[in-house]
Amino acid sequence: MSDVFDARKATRAPRAERPAWKERPRAVTQVAKTAVLVLTVAMVLIPFWVVIATSLAPGQQIIDNGGWAFWPDTWTFDAYRKVLSNEVTTRALFVSVGVTAFGTFFSLVCTVFLAYALARPRVVGGKPIMLLILFTFLFPPSFIPTYLVLDSLGMIDTYWSLFLPVLVNVFNLVVVRGFFQGIPEELYEAARLDGAGELRTLFTIVLPLSKAVIAVVGLFYAVGYWNDFFRGVMYLNDNSMYPLQTVLRGYVTQGEGLASEFTAEGKLSQAPQAMKMAVVVIATIPILCVYPFIQRYFTKGVLAGAIKS
């Protein structure tokens, strides 16, 4: 019994030789980590709560507090009713949903097919094409050439201009390609022995194993399309075609379409600031509702693809 104990003691590394990450954290370190975590969460949640509270506060309280409210004296949804009753906002909301849905779908299709082709060995021209794609990542096209190309193709003032110029993101392509390369080659060989072609291999073997990376990349595309306002400003001359983020930019920066309303007693019932915050909340909630369902795929999807690429 003593011999076994001595052997275990001999194989155990001395305390001074153990790596720092194997040491048990001290109480001071744990307290410091907790304090930093609490501070970080507070820095994120408090501004977001102020936005929500301001959107739900009465107009006079917002004016008295200098344009914001931390806790509404009276909870009211008048700002949301006013915003959603505005035809411009509701139309822009449908435009954003449509552009996000179609753009994400087409981007995923193109990214998956291109990544699969570049991930397979002995593809004719695979390496030059990959280098060309990486070149566009290091030296992206500027606005003027992109605008001239879209204008020559007749895509100005069309919804195509909102997602075709950014249909394939190079970072997402590299991540998906790396994930495909990490799939064991034996599975591809077994598929070929069973007589499966490339398309059948992709749909029956590769895609079922790649749900994590596809979910993460799809979220990246969706967030990018949903939050984009620049292309709406630059490529659309018709205000009725604006997506929600472009309308939100006009509300927040210029106050377009936001007017103060007063009660019969002369008190302010709705303030432009409350309506601005209501638009911010409406534009943020859809993405926040999607994140919890995709969060568990982040580590598996992104890290696996990035490491193996």
List the CATH number of the domain containing 143: 1.10.3720.10
Task: Evaluate whether residue 69 is within a structural domain.
Answer: no
pLDDT at 106: 93
The number of residues making up the chain comes to 309
pLDDT at 254: 63
Task: Evaluate whether residue 71 is within a structural domain.
Answer: no
Beta bridge partners of 261: 270
Of 39, 64, 89, which residue constitutes the final position of a domain?
A: 64
Residues 277 and 59 sit within 8 Å (Cβ to Cβ)? no
Kindly give the pairing relationship between strand 261-262 and strand 268-270: antiparallel
Examine the domain organization and report whether 129 and 227 are in the same domain: yes
Beta bridge partners of 262: 268
Examine the domain organization and report whether 137 and 277 are in the same domain: yes
Integer CA distances (angstroms), 284 to 168, 244, 260, 290, 305, in order: 24, 11, 24, 11, 28
Examine the domain organization and report whether 57 and 84 are in the same domain: no
Examine the domain organization and report whether 8 and 141 are in the same domain: no
Angstrom distance (rounded) from CA 268 to CA 260: 7
* CB neighbourhood size of 44 (10 A): 10
Domain count, the chain: 2
pLDDT at 262: 40
Helix (H, G, I), strand (E, B) or coil at 18: coil
Q: What is the pLDDT along the chain (309 residues), one digit of tens a residue?
A: 555 445 555 455 455 556 656 667 778 878 888 899 999 999 988 888 888 888 888 877 777 777 778 888 888 888 888 777 778 778 888 888 899 999 999 999 999 999 888 888 777 777 888 888 888 888 887 888 888 888 888 888 888 888 888 888 888 898 888 888 888 888 888 888 888 788 888 888 888 888 888 888 888 898 889 888 888 888 888 888 888 888 877 776 765 555 544 444 444 445 677 777 888 888 888 777 777 776 666 655 555 544 444
Tokens of 86: 């505005």
This prediction has a pTM of 0.74
Examine the domain organization and report whether 34 and 56 are in the same domain: yes
**Closest by Cα among 23, 84, 134 to 282:** 84
Of 42, 64, 86, which residue constitutes the final position of a domain?
A: 64
Domain that holds residue 222: 78-308
Of 64, 96, 114, which residue constitutes the final position of a domain?
A: 64
Examine the domain organization and report whether 224 and 98 are in the same domain: yes
Task: Name the burial class of residue 139, with classes exposed (0-12), middle (13-18) and buried (19+) by CB atoms within 10 angstroms of its CB.
Answer: exposed
